[in-house]
Structure 1
C-alpha cells in the first residue's frame, strides 16, 4: 500500500472511509505524509459512527452511544488498498477501511464484516460464490424545485421521454460516460455494458462477475460513490434512489450469482437448462428469506414507491426460468454459466448488506436442502403469490422477527439496523415528499 502512494507523488491527501449501515462513507481526511501511520496502525473512531441514520445523526436509543461511553473501534485498511478519486479536483486517494474491536475481533455492526461472515460459511463447505451486479441510476437536473432530465451537452435540449436501449440517449451524455469508464479503469472497477433504461435520464451499467464477493460489493459501493461524484463535475446529479419520478419505473440493483466447488466447477450446472438440486436449494433459501430481508432490499421510505405491481420491480415471492416479472429469475444461455438472478433490491441499497442477505439466504437453503415451489410461468403480477412486505414499517417488523435473518446476520447487526430504521421511519413521517426526495437524492 505504501508503494502506491510513492508511485503517485501528486496525491496530496487521502480519505480513509468505511461504509455505515446505509452505505454512506464515514471517515477522515488525512495529509499524505501521515498515511503510513494509518496503513500500519489503523485509525479510530466511535463504533456508533457505523450506526448513524440517513441524516448522519446518532441513534437515540442505541447502546453504542452514551450507554457504552461511545467507545472507539479500530479500523484497518481492507485488502483493496489505495484508490484514486477521479471526481475530485485535487489529486486524492481513498483508502477503504473496516472496523474491529481492540482485541482484533471483527465488529459485528460493520456491513462488510456481515458479508465476510457469509462468505466464510461458503468456504467452510469448500464453495465460492461468484457475483455480478447491475446498477441502475438516474442523471438528474436538480437545480430547480422540480427534478428533470439534464440538458443534453450535445444538443442543449431536454428529452422528456423514456429511452429504453437508446443509443441516442447514451450519446447525448457521451462525455460523461467516457469519463466514467476512464475513472472505472483508474479505480479498477470492472464496468462493462451500459444501456439506457425506461425512466427519464435512467441508465444501467453492469459490473463483471467476480469470484470474490467482498470485492464485488466493494466495486458496487465504490461505483455508486464515483458516479455521484463525477456527475457533479459535469454539472448535474446522479442518483441511485429507488424512485425519483412518480410516473416512471424506479432503479434496481439486480444480482447474479453462481457457486463454484473446490475444483472450480459451477455447482448449479447440470449440463442442461434446468439446473441442479443445489441450485433449487439456493432458490428456496432466497425465497424463504425474502420477506424477512425485504428491509435490506428496500431500506428507505422511497424504496417502496418502486415496489408496485407492473413497475418492473417484483412484489410477489416467486421464481421462474427466463421471466423478468418474477423476483428470482434463472437466465437462459450456456449451462456452464447457470446462475440465479435476484431482482428485488433497489439501487438505494447498501451493497454489502444486500449481498450478505442474498448469499446468506441461498446458503440457508443449501444447508437445509430446501425445495422451492414449482417455477411460475407468465405474468407474476397477475399470480396469487406470497407478497414481499409492501411498506417500510412492515419490512422493519418482518426483519426483526425473521428466523432466516438471524441465521444470516449477527445479533448486533440486526439490533443496529432495526434501531436505525425505526428512527428514520419516525422522522421521515414529519417530512413532505419533496423534503424526502432532497434527503435521498444525494445520499443513497
Structure 2
C-alpha cells in the first residue's frame, strides 16, 4: 500500500523490519524522523529527515562524520582525535539500531525517533561510538557465558525556564515554595506536578520505556525516576538515554528546564545515577544467588569494581562540575568502599531475597554517559572475576568517616588516571581511551580560561 506523508509518497519496502512496518501503518500522518547517535557526553546528535526517507534509512543507512560521537560538550570538534582535519572530516556509515524506532510523544507534529550505531570502514562497530564500547564489554562477559541484568536510577531537578537576573538557575516554583527544601519521599511534592509527571509517564509508556517508581528527592524541585531491570545491558543503557531525553522534552513543553547536571548548587543535593547489576548464566541462573560465600563471584565482582574505580572515575564524573558532588555526607562516595545495605558506600549490596541479590553502584553522577558508565561497571566486574579478586572488609556505619577519600577529587587527576590505566586500555580500547582523553582535556582547557564570578567576589578587591 502506498502511504502519503505531507508532499512525499513512499512505499515501505517488504524487507523492512516487521516492527518498522507495523509502526508505519499506525502512523499514517508521520511528518519526520530524528535519527540519533549518542556521543561521549551522552548527548544525542544526528539528523531530522522527512518521513518518506525511512526506507532509505533502513536499506542504505545514514552518513555522519566520524568526529560526531567525539564532539565536546559545546558541540565543537576535537582536532586532537585526528578525526577532523587529518582525515578531511570523513564520514562513517550509521545504521539504525534494531527495535529502536519509537514515537516522539512530545512533538507538536507526528514524529518518530530512532537510535543509530556508527560502522567503521571494515564493517565493525566504530571505536568512538559509546554503544560500541559497551557492546565490546558485553561480549567479554558473554565469553564467560554470562549476561548482565541492569536497572538505572536517575535523579534530576526542575528549574524555571529563565534564570534569575544574575544568571543563576531558579528551582521550579510549582514544585516547591521558593527557598523551601523538598520533602524526601514527599507525596505532596508529586501532587503539585501531576500534569507534568503524568505526561512523562505517558510518553514513557508510548515508547515502551519500563518506568518503575518515581520519588521526590532531598533537593529543592529534585526527583528520581527508576527503570525496571532488563537482561540486556545495551537496551538498559538505551532506555536510560531515552528516558533522559523524554524528561527534558516534556519539561520544555511545560516551560521548565529539566537538568541532570551533577551539582547545580554547592549547598544542596546533587544528581546521581545509581546502577543495579546482577549476572545470569546461559541457563538463566542468577549466579549471585547460586554462589554465596566470601569467595563467591559476587565478592569477586565487588573487588573488581573497587580496584578499578579510580581508573574509571573520569567516566563516572565526566565534567568539571561532577566533582562538586563528592562531599562528606552527600550520598556521593569519596572512596572505593562496599557495604551491605549501606548508602554511604560506593558499592552497596541491598537487602533482598536471594533471587534479587545485586550490586548497586553509587558513584556516577546523572550527568554521565550511561552507556560508558555501564561499560565501566561491567568491565570492573569482569576484571574481578578474571583475576579472582577478594574485596577488603565490609565498611559498616559511616563510610565518609571510616575511609580515606581516595577517589580523584579533581577533573584533571581523573583524566590522568584514565589515560594511564591498563584496565581502561584493555576494556575500552586504547583508541577510544585516547579520543576520550583528548575531548575531556579540550573541555577542561576551555573552562580553565573562564574566571567564575565567585573568584571575582573573593579576590578582585581583597588582594
Q: TM-score, normalised by structure 2?
A: 0.90
Paired residue for 1:254? 274
What SS does the corresponding residue of 2:251 show, helix, strand or coil?
helix
C-alpha change, 1:53 and 1:434, in structure 2 (3 Å) is: farther
What SS does the corresponding residue of 2:48 show, helix, strand or coil?
strand
The count of residues paired between Structure 1 and Structure 2 equals 432
Contact 2:79–2:85 (CA<8 Å) still a contact in 1?
no
What SS does the corresponding residue of 1:302 show, helix, strand or coil?
helix
CA distance in 2, matches of 1:299, 1:432: 20
Structure 2: gaps (5+ residues): 1-19, 455-463
Contact 2:161–2:255 (CA<8 Å) still a contact in 1?
no
Paired residue for 2:359? 340
Q: 4+ runs of 1 displaced by more than 4 Å?
A: 432-435
Paired residue for 1:152? 174
Q: Deviations over 1:35-82 (max 9, x none)?
A: 100111110011011111000001132211111221211000112331
CA distance in 2, matches of 1:55, 1:171: 36
Question: Are 1:390 and 2:409 counterparts?
Answer: yes
Contact 2:424–2:430 (CA<8 Å) still a contact in 1?
no
Contact 1:152–1:158 (CA<8 Å) still a contact in 2?
no
Aligned partner (choices 126, 130, 133) of residue 107 of structure 1: 126
Paired residue for 2:334? 315
Paired residue for 1:56? 75
Contact 1:45–1:72 (CA<8 Å) still a contact in 2?
yes
Shift of 1:234: 0.7
Question: Are 1:170 and 2:152 counterparts?
Answer: no
CA distance in 2, matches of 1:134, 1:394: 27
* 1:274-289 → structure 2 map (5 Å cutoff): 277-289=296-308
Paired residue for 2:256? 236
Q: Deviations over 1:120-164 (max 9, x none)?
A: 1111111110000100000111413232221228x9x54621321
C-alpha change, 1:80 and 1:385, in structure 2 (3 Å) is: farther
Instruction: Please tell me the root mean square deviation across aligned C-alpha atoms, in Å.
Output: 1.6
* 1:373-388 → structure 2 map (5 Å cutoff): 373-385=392-404, 387-388=406-407
CA distance in 1, matches of 2:109, 2:450: 36
What SS does the corresponding residue of 1:210 show, helix, strand or coil?
coil
Shift of 1:115: 0.5
Question: Are 1:89 and 2:93 counterparts?
Answer: no
Contact 2:264–2:270 (CA<8 Å) still a contact in 1?
yes
Shift of 1:207: 0.2
CA distance in 2, matches of 1:180, 1:243: 23
Aligned partner (choices 43, 48, 70) of residue 89 of structure 2: 70
Paired residue for 2:199? 179
Q: TM-score, normalised by structure 1?
A: 0.94
C-alpha change, 1:62 and 1:213, in structure 2 (3 Å) is: same
Comparing 357-366 and 262-271, the one that deviates more = 262-271
Contact 1:269–1:276 (CA<8 Å) still a contact in 2?
no
Paired residue for 1:122? 141
Comparing 5-14 and 228-237, the one that deviates more = 5-14
CA distance in 2, matches of 1:34, 1:433: 46
Aligned partner (choices 171, 176, 190) of residue 210 of structure 2: 190
Which structure would you say has the larger RCO, counting Cα contacts within 8 Å and 6 or more residues apart?
1
Question: Are 1:134 and 2:133 counterparts?
Answer: no
Contact 1:80–1:96 (CA<8 Å) still a contact in 2?
no
